[in-house]
Amino acid sequence: VSPSLRRFAPLYLMLLPGLIYFATFKYIPMIGIVIAFKNYNFLDGVLHSPWVGFDNFRRFFEGIYFERILGNTLMISMYKLLFGFPAPILLALLLDQVGRKRFKRLVQTFTYMPHFMSWVVIYGILLVLLSPGEGLVNELFKKGGMEPFSFLTEPSWIRSILVGSDIWHGAGWGAIIYLAALSSIDPSLYEAARVDGAPLWRQIWHVTLPGIRNMIVVMLIIRLSHILDVGFDQVLMMSNAMNMEKADIIDTWVYRVGLLEMQFSLAAAVGLFKSVIGLVLVLGANKVAKKLDSQIW
């Protein structure tokens, strides 16, 4: 036994539960990936179902709706990245500038509360607000002499609704981690900046943002690994037959074809495809981050 092992034995011991957790819940289940290359049926089980090579992948790529669902997934994902990712940072910066503690806490509580609402509830709220007939917004439209508009069924609106409600749902919660990072910035840096005569936006630019830069990069890398996950629950809840052409994503297709039709192999193949894309992006992003010296590993 090496001296270092003996010396740090308690620390290694503490590491053990974590390792066991990842092995049991993350690594062992990966064996199930083999069904992506099989025609899985319940009778034969994971081990004895027949091998089909890349047939499941081919079915996905050659599917009639492949282009549509991939396009929608990427577009919604991009919008969420573009508008959704900076939102919590912005919120955290704004909250950071609030001097009155009570007010700050109140705002913070209100902004992260939506995180605890399920999409069913949020869609219910949207229905009450945006229904074409008796929705609040349309009632106001009618009062103002405008034509009512069916926001929830219009294909051109669904992505805005998805991204908007996602920001409302997650920005407050996402801001917490940035607020924690902000509080770790050395106050003497601000003092020095003020002494040098830096106005507020200069302080933010030269002190605050560099202070949380690492956190932003880490969050971005993690985010990129989910590039093809654009919120299945949300889309399933908010999309309907009328706006499906702009809202049908990979996950909703897998739900219809894989889960409801019991083609688990196909679902597994698509899941594997998504993970590989995510992995490639994470590796690439980390490489770029290394140049900024804020890589994860």
Partner 1 sequence: VIELFNGQSSPTIFEEEKSLGGFSVRGKQTKLAVLSLLLGMTAVTGACSTKEQPAANSPAADKAQSKKFKISLFNPGVNADAPHVPREQDPIGQMIEKKMNVELEMIIVPEQAPAKLNAMIASGDVPDLITTNRNDAVKFYEQGIITDLDSLLQKTPALQQLYDKARWQKSTYKGKIIGIPNDQPTAGQHGYWVRNDWLQKLGLKQPTTSDELLEVMRAFTFKDPDGNGKNDTYGFVGGLAKDGTFYSGTNQLFLMFGVYPNHIDVVNNKLVYSNTDPKMKDALAYMKKIIDEKLIDPDWVTVSDFVKTEDKMYRGKSGILVFDWRRGKEPQFQALMKAASGEIPDWITIAPPKGPYGDQFVNLDPTYSSVWGVSKKAAADPEKAQRIIELLQYMYTDKEIYPHMSYGLKDIMWKEENGKIVVTPNADAQETRWARHWRFPRTSDDPVYFGANNPKTLEYWALNKKYSKPNPAVPVLIPDPSDTLAADRIKYMNEMLLKFATGKEPLANWDTYVQTLKTKFKLDALLDNYTQQLKAEGILK
Kindly list the residues in this chain that would bind partner 1 in the complex (CB under 8 A): 41-44, 59, 63-65, 127, 131-134, 148, 150, 152-153, 240-242, 244-245, 255-257, 259-264
Report the residue number, 259 or 279, with the smaller CB distance to partner 1. Answer: 259
In the complex, the smallest distance separating the C-beta of residue 259 from partner 1, rounded to whole angstroms, is 5
Shortest Cβ 5–partner 1 spacing (Å): 39
86 vs 148, beta carbon nearer partner 1 = 148
Of residues 168 and 255, the one with the C-beta less far from partner 1:
255
In the numeric block, which tokens belong to residue 167? 């920001």
Minimum CB distance to partner 1, residue 167 (Å): 23
Phi, psi for residue 147 in degrees, rounded to 5: -70, 135
**Would you say 13 or 43 has its CB closer to partner 1?**
43
- Work out the burial of residue 198: count CB atoms within 10 Å of its CB; fewer than 13 is exposed, 13-18 middle, 19 or more buried: middle
Please report how close the Cβ of residue 174 comes to partner 1 at its closest, in angstroms.
28
Report the residue number, 70 or 242, with the smaller CB distance to partner 1. 242
**Residue with token string 């099989």:** 38
* CB 73 to partner 1: min, Å: 16
Q: How far apart are CA 237 and CA 245, in angstroms?
A: 15
Comparison of 216 and 244: residue with beta carbon closer to partner 1: 244
Of the two residues 172 and 258, which places its CB atom closer to partner 1 in the complex?
A: 258
For the bound state, the minimum distance from the C-beta of residue 71 to partner 1, rounded and expressed in Å, comes to 16
254 near 57, Cβ under 8 Å? Answer: no
C-beta closer to partner 1: residue 77 or 131: 131
Secondary structure, 3-state, the chain: CCHHHHHCHHHHHHHHHHHHHHHHHHHHHHHHHHHHHECCCCCCHHHHCCECCCHHHHHHHCCCCHHHHHHHHHHHHHHHHHHHCHHHHHHHHHHHHCCCHHHHHHHHHHHHHHHHCCHHHHHHHHHHHHCCCCCHHHHHHHHCCCCCCCHHHCHHHHHHHHHHHHHHHHHHHHHHHHHHHHHCCCHHHHHHHHHCCCCHHHHHHHHHHHHHHHHHHHHHHHHHCCCCCCCHHHHHHHCCCCCHHHHCCHHHHHHHHHHCCCCHHHHHHHHHHHHHHHHHHHHHHHHHHHHCCCCCC
